[in-house]
Amino acid sequence: MLLALLSLFIIFGIIRLIISAVREFMAWLGRGKTVHELAENSSGLIEEEYAEDIRLYVQALDEQRSLKHLGKEIAGEAPRLTAEQRRALRKASYKARREYLDYIKLGWFQIVVIFLVASVLGLIIEEIWMFITEGLTQSRVGLVWGPYSPIYGFGAVLLTIVCWKLRERGAKAWQIFVVGMIVGGLLEQITGWGMETFLGAVSWDYTGVPGAITKWVAWPFLFFWGGLGLVWSKAIMPELLYHIGNPTTVRQVTFVWLLALYLAADIFMTVACFGRMAARDAGIEPQNSFEEWVDENYTDQFIAARFENMAINGTE
């Protein structure tokens, strides 16, 4: 019992250290030379400055609703807010966050971060779901390096781009739902077909599932994609884009560029590994030193252990 409590205490301490380190790193990225100092012209500068003013306004509102402020209220160091005042603060914060989206531009910076976050969170949620529903603890990653499932990253990016356009056009809820179904269905069909056709891998198969349309698309999951598109457009995307914001410093731009290069290399290596696996099965020898290196370091055993949930070349 004592050992278990000590272990929990150590884990809690490690988590606190990681959170503190991440906060310090993010704060460090926010310092240094600003992007505007390198800009040749100031087009759009007023809008970006106004967007940052909105962020400061929201931070001030949220500070009034924070646990820290509540502690000050209890200690008598700050006036106690009524329930009505808290609701007003929450409503004003919500409204300002949505207004913030009118003054930012959706670009590569936000896309890279969204892809990374969705790839990791999607993988975590899927593994938790499979453990709860099926008792499975197998690796469900989609790339050779890191804890990423790119289908969730691509799905989040597609939903964000589409929902952003729909938001600009004032689309209604049912229109967002239908578009979400279409985007999700196309994503599953193209990804599933491409994986099996070019990589010889099957990550999911709806054959035999009630409502199946193709091997990779089924009506129940289309409705799921429609609902996800609606939730993403109304709740997740505004909050996510608010927290990502516009890049303001050279450090932020450089860091996200490095992330983009790393993800591109990860995707390239994954395709190369599956390509060489298929070539090895066909008896094709490596044609250059890179393919020899892939064969030596990313063997069939590595692929099978890394991608446990995939059926590769007809095997589980």
Give the three-class secondary structure for 88.
helix
Domain residues of the chain, as ranges?
33-103
245 within 8 A of 113, measured Cβ to Cβ:
no
| Strands in 122-223 per DSSP E | 201-202
How many other CB atoms sit within 10 Å of the CB of residue 88? Answer: 13
- In tens digits, the chain (316 residues) has pLDDT values of 666 677 777 877 887 888 788 788 888 887 778 776 655 555 556 677 778 888 888 888 888 888 787 788 777 777 888 889 888 988 998 888 888 888 888 889 999 999 999 999 888 888 887 778 777 677 788 899 988 888 889 888 988 999 898 888 888 999 999 998 998 899 889 888 887 887 677 777 888 888 888 888 999 889 988 998 899 888 888 888 988 888 888 899 999 999 999 999 999 999 899 888 888 888 889 889 999 999 999 988 888 888 876 666 555 4
Predicted local distance difference test score (pLDDT) of residue 48: 74
| Residue the block writes with tokens 């590769």 | 312
Predicted local distance difference test score (pLDDT) of residue 197: 80
H helical segments located in 101-248: 108-134, 150-168, 173-194, 219-231, 237-244
Predicted local distance difference test score (pLDDT) of residue 44: 55
Predicted local distance difference test score (pLDDT) of residue 66: 82
Predicted local distance difference test score (pLDDT) of residue 38: 56
In this structure, what token pair is assigned to residue 14? 């490690």
* Among 55, 149, 133, 36, CA closest to 101: 55
Q: What is the DSSP letter of 30?
A: T
Predicted local distance difference test score (pLDDT) of residue 269: 93
Q: What is the DSSP letter of 60?
A: H
Predicted local distance difference test score (pLDDT) of residue 260: 95
Predicted local distance difference test score (pLDDT) of residue 1: 62
Cα–Cα separations (whole angstroms), residue 131 to 146, 204, 208: 20, 16, 22
In this structure, what token pair is assigned to residue 30? 């926010």
Predicted local distance difference test score (pLDDT) of residue 49: 76
- Whole-angstrom Cα distance, residue 248 to residue 34? 6
